[in-house]
Structure 1
């Protein structure tokens, strides 16, 4: 893997699953998405998932250690994790963990926006090969929130979207398309912020505000069958599905969405 300095601040830079049982998670996602795994820089409690030799995501057996729910978490680049965490607090968000140091030479914090959607900020070098968004990337991101335009204000200020940066690095740009907000990196859509009905009560936790991670697959049915066979389940009543996408829950309870795409590996 090649680590480089991020040239664009506020851009998605990594996906990570906080799991309880690393080996069980590896078996499940290998069966559903065809990933292969190798141990990462954090040792035996963390592994890197690869598809066709390209890094896609990380899985760490950290949910119990950090006392956080099992969930997929997107990370965004910042020039200063401590300053970004302060901006989160100042704008009504919450800092759950950190900022703390992680190898090799980075700092991260787990935070949430005012609606409760969790995400991470990362200060440090990023993987040159990693991609998310439209086109050939294996995954993309969607924020499900009460008001996408309010959310865009929060994230724009915290992650400095569309702003002049301190050291000459670029920043992501935001465009408004109907009732959605689209985040673009060098013109390519990398995430979408969608307004919609959300619930904070316990009966339907899948409808709480959250960042949804979408993974692209060539066909939904084989992936769905593999998920059910290996202890996962289909999540009904989310309002996110259609004929070309499906939301699943892994055996630990982590939510993710499959998108049928002819560009999937």
Structure 2
């Protein structure tokens, strides 16, 4: 499970790139009870989603040419520059080179060899999200990839991740853990895109999961607020009730009521 005791390679931050920050804030506020607090013009209209005063996510306007609205998962690193070199050596691409975010920390963005985008955060004053795993916060991260073997080799090379392959009704789901972490440290999953997913237009990506008290109620609210539901709520044995959603601007994410 995710915790705020961040270790290298663990999810540490998640933010939304969107063409309409105000409208997106209203959508996610209705879903999760989040409040949006802008960091001001000097931060490029970037701001934090808070829940009971704790930062649980962030959002800002799209800043790269030709990109679509999406959530980005950030992984903890003690050295963003060294991680950038490791990404290139492992066959990934540096989307934007490491840079300092005032005194808050240092960040960089990458694309893995199968086309999924992610980022890293080297903490400064900002150590990461203030709350995870509890209702209406980040609780899991999941990679959809066209080449699970290549993805596993890449992320192991970059972050030292450990994996456990779990058969799940006709396909294999890979559970991800940081280096040296036991089963209780599981932080995400990795799965291959099958033909049906590819035909439906899915492409390699990292996707955040948010814990919710009532999966069906959140899905209903998302539909009423202009979101779409690529996968209606389904029960997964020993996991929970899960749904895949897309916000009004096309950013995919998932919600789960954990078993």
Give the Cα separation in 1 of the matches to 2:136 and 2:25: 23
Match of 2:238 in 1: none
**Distance change (3 Å), C-alpha of 1:69 and 1:128:** closer
Match of 2:51 in 1: 51
Match of 1:230 in 2: 225
Q: Classify the secondary structure of the residue corresponding to 2:249.
A: coil
Residue 180 of structure 2 corresponds to residue 184 of structure 1: no
**Distance change (3 Å), C-alpha of 1:74 and 1:7:** closer
1:136-171 Cα deviation digits (max 9, x unpaired): 96421111223434322211111244xxxxxxxxxx
Task: Within 5 Å, give how 1:48-197 maps onto structure 2.
Answer: 48-61=48-61, 63=62, 65-67=63-65, 68-125=67-124, 126-127=126-127, 130-132=130-132, 138-161=138-161, 174-178=162-166, 179-184=172-177, 186-187=181-182, 188-197=185-194
Is the Cα–Cα contact under 8 Å of residues 56 and 129 in structure 2 kept in the other structure?
Answer: no
Match of 1:170 in 2: none
Is the Cα–Cα contact under 8 Å of residues 180 and 194 in structure 1 kept in the other structure?
Answer: yes
Is the Cα–Cα contact under 8 Å of residues 12 and 129 in structure 2 kept in the other structure?
Answer: no
Match of 2:169 in 1: none
TM-score, normalising length: structure 2: 0.80
From 246, 250, 254, the equivalent of 1:249 is 246
TM-score, normalising length: structure 1: 0.78
1:211-235 Cα deviation digits (max 9, x unpaired): 1111111112221222122221112
Give the Cα separation in 2 of the matches to 1:117 and 1:228: 27
Give the Cα separation in 2 of the matches to 1:135 and 1:11: 19
Is the Cα–Cα contact under 8 Å of residues 114 and 147 in structure 2 kept in the other structure?
Answer: no
Is the Cα–Cα contact under 8 Å of residues 199 and 208 in structure 1 kept in the other structure?
Answer: no
Q: Classify the secondary structure of the residue corresponding to 2:115.
A: coil
Query: How far apart are residue 15 of structure 1 and its match?
Result: 0.5
